[in-house]
Structure 1
């Protein structure tokens, strides 16, 4: 498995709702996406839409980048987002549970 699976980069459009309030993030097709889809189907990780909905409930904002990577000894969704008050934050979430592992405010 590659150390980093890029799921979506620099999303230009805001996430759309799936009818249940969960954001739907456009993702380019490719082998990384297929691998992530397989992990979801096997129940090893949560779907990205569910993880983003959990994140939005605690830290509302605009998602600009999502990566699935191996960190902390597990698969982690790394989400860069702009908060409602304009701060750029990076949030690491356990891909299996959606639990927030780390939250850093970017200095740039």
Structure 2
């Protein structure tokens, strides 16, 4: 029983740590970061994603601070109606993830 309690506590702490490492940023904070030059301009980030999926449309965007990085997440529907999840390093513009949405 003691072992089960220990394993359960480790699992809970792991979940809490994961939650604490990702934080959504609001529009005001995102604009301050952009204006300070900490992250790239959103239009430039959007254009780089649309180059990956020509003729696509961006349906959602979100800026997060996770594991010490600013990550810009986008949902894109390409010209064929396929949905894509794309993540960029908001500081450098580097593509971190580009895969079809399940």
TM-score (structure 2 length as normaliser): 0.72
CA–CA distance in structure 1, aligned partners of residues 33 and 73 of structure 2: 16
What is the total number of aligned residue pairs between the two structures?
Answer: 80
* Cα offsets for 1:33-72 (capped at 9, x unmatched): 1111110111110111110011112222110000001235
Compare relative contact order (CA 8 Å, sep 6+) and give the higher one, 1 or 2. Answer: 1
Which structure has more helix as a fraction of its residues? 2
Give SS of 2:40's match: coil
Which structure has more strand as a fraction of its residues? 1
After superposition, the CA RMSD in angstroms is: 1.5
Do structure 1's residue 46 and structure 2's residue 40 form an aligned pair? yes
Do structure 1's residue 66 and structure 2's residue 86 form an aligned pair? no
**Residue segments in structure 2 that go unaligned for 5+ positions in a row:** 1-21
What is aligned with 2:88?
93
CA–CA distance in structure 2, aligned partners of residues 99 and 46 of structure 1: 11
The offset of 1:73, in angstroms, is 3.5
Moved more, 51-60 or 87-96: 51-60
What is aligned with 1:75?
70
